[in-house]
A and B are shown apart, each in its own frame.
Chain A
Amino acid sequence: MEYSEKVLDHFMKPRNMGEIPDADASGTVGNPICGDIMKMDLKIEDNIIVDAKFKTFGCGSAIATSSMATELIIGKSTDEALDITNQAVAEALDGLPKVKMHCSVLAEQAVKKALEQYYLDHDMMTPERKDKFKILGQDQHHHE
């Protein structure tokens, strides 16, 4: 199992690592028992994500996908960010080893968890949007 250069680059030089103290929305997913936790903070102005920061406890691909996810959503509208899938994050990193695909799901979940809070806080949760949060209920870990 070897990582792409892009994964290694994002792992070694993570983009947007940190926290936003006055974040408009934030979401934490994963758990320490499974070995990965992602926290995503968003700064949102007029439904546009103007800043995103992450903190991640996890392996190289968990850190790289968090970093890539922030790059993909900054500058996008919240609805556009909602449409970013884990495949898109993985592809932007030139692919992930098969056993690591669940890490990219975690990145998608972290963004969605934060956006869910944003929509609920601003009374913007329409049935159509709600449909896109289904992934939050999925457990990505299948233990032996």
Chain B
Amino acid sequence: MDTLLEKRLQEASGKKRVYFDHAATTAPADEVIDLVTEILRQHPGNPSSFYREGHQAARILEEARASVASGLGVLPEEIFFTSCGTESDNWAVKGTAHARQGRGRHLITSTIEHHAVLHTMEALEKEGFEVTYLDVDDKGLVEPDQLEKAIRPDTILVSIMMANNEIGTIQPVGRIGEICREANVIFHSDAVQALGAIPVKPRDLNCDLMSFSGHKLYAPKGIGVLFKRKGLRIDRLLDGGAQERRQRGGTENVAYAMAFARACELALKDLDRESKRQTKLRDRLIKGVIEAVPHTKLNGHSELRLPNNANFSFEFIEGESILLLLDTLGYACSSGSACTSASLDPSHVLLGIGMPAEIAHGSLRVTIGRKTSEGEIDRFLIDIPLVIERLRDMSPLYADFRKGKLEALIPPEGGVDVRIDGGYDLV
């Protein structure tokens, strides 16, 4: 049985691991690690202290803030360091809702936001806020006209992500920002996946609040940023000391703030060249996978897409088993299958773009990074058809399809623009 796969499995233990999960996290850059170590060793002071060590730490913190601000084209006093992207999202959404509830209690978001926004919205619903969840189209795009129609006199906040973490779709945030500005509604955008991948200028996008995370940017886990437009008042999430202009209590993570700043500088310095390089690799991967594996579709938009993201659905099989075989072959990837999470339902993003559950279970996300080479893509293109073939061999659905008892939902030639209407017609 599939001897080529057996051979590849045996060879894999001698080969380098291939990291294809950059949307989950990135390894901190060497330069960033060195900088963190140096600050931790040389400048352990508390920025709030009134003596030389404290002043030194405060200087580093403000240097980091100024650097991030300059990268984003905003003012240093508009940059707030947080512990992670989730905290930034929580703070932006809850802080705005609580500060503005006198004007109204209606919030708008989309069905495919990150859980850091969706679950925050649900928490607010329990407090009595009303939330409209905008549907997206089959590529994951929010329709600005629909947003415009959803805005009511009591709407106080719109939260739409800049780019989706699972399918990589880039939202028309510029247009959404305009609509919100005209309607006098606060606009928050989760840009965790966007920063370092595509140009991000909150001011140009009419964005009032924007969330970022360090560890998606080759900085360590444990540091995030919230951009908050000057003059906008939102409630605190963390009550405590007078740190972060009295708006977020907690001793500042000086070393990691600087790590974020340096990682951001490194990413922006190379943004144009690197995003072109990754887009080329991504398109080679997408074309290669669809050609090599029948009944395969690309999920998300083929053009309005993060340069590092590819997301596929392979019909007749389940995602976690794909991950397990790929892991053994040396690849770290991710899936929207229910079995890769603690829940029994497949990814809300894939269901949100209208995909039937039986196809959503068979999804695979490959997210490349700064160190991804063409050789790694080509190695993957040899292995992926073997993995899918092995699992289809085991699948009773595929057996039924081969016997003519089941009609395929994805045509054999697959593609980047395949629409699926409805699920299996099972007796």
> A35-B339, A99-B342 in contact; A63/B321 too (CB < 8 A)?
yes
Q: By DSSP majority rule, is chain B's interface helix, strand, loop, or mixed?
A: helix
A122 within 8 A of B: no
Q: B348 to chain A: closest CB distance in Å?
A: 10
How many residues in B have their beta carbons less than 8 Å from beta carbons of A? 33
- How would residues 314 to 347 of chain B score, 1 for a CB under 8 Å from any chain A CB and 0 otherwise? 0011111100110010000000011110111110
Docked pose: A19 CA to B395 CA in angstroms = 11
By the criterion CB–CB under 8 Å, are A57 and B337 in contact? Answer: no
Docked pose: A11 CA to B320 CA in angstroms = 11
List which B340-364 residues lie within 8 A (CB) of chain A: 340, 342-346, 356-358, 361
A56 within 8 A of B: yes
8 Å CB contact of B358 from A33, A39, A62? A33
8 Å CB contact of A12 from B328, B393, B426? B328
Report chain A residues within 8 Å CB of B44: none
By the criterion CB–CB under 8 Å, are B394 and A32 in contact? Answer: no
Q: How large is the interface on A (under 10, 10 to 19, 20 to 34, 35 or more residues)?
A: 20 to 34
8 Å CB contact of B357 from A3, A14, A35, A102? A35
Q: A4 to chain B: closest CB distance in Å?
A: 13
Q: A109 to chain B: closest CB distance in Å?
A: 14
Q: B388 to chain A: closest CB distance in Å?
A: 13
Docked pose: A133 CA to B426 CA in angstroms = 24
Q: B260 to chain A: closest CB distance in Å?
A: 30
Docked pose: A99 CA to B320 CA in angstroms = 13
> A33-B423, A35-B339 in contact; A28/B396 too (CB < 8 A)?
yes
By the criterion CB–CB under 8 Å, are B344 and A143 in contact? Answer: yes
Report chain B residues within 8 Å CB of A37: 395-397
Q: A69 to chain B: closest CB distance in Å?
A: 14
By the criterion CB–CB under 8 Å, are A60 and B396 in contact? Answer: no
Report chain B residues within 8 Å CB of A35: 318, 337-339, 344, 346, 357-358, 361
Top 6 A-B pairs ranked by shortest CB distance? A59-B339, A32-B358, A59-B320, A35-B361, A55-B396, A39-B396
Name A's B-contacting residues (CB within 8 A).
3, 8, 11-12, 14, 17, 19, 28, 31-39, 55-63, 99-100, 102, 141-144
Sample of 11 more A-B contacts, CB < 8 Å, known A33-B356, A35-B357: A12-B9, A31-B426, A35-B346, A35-B361, A39-B396, A56-B396, A57-B395, A58-B318, A60-B324, A61-B339, A63-B321
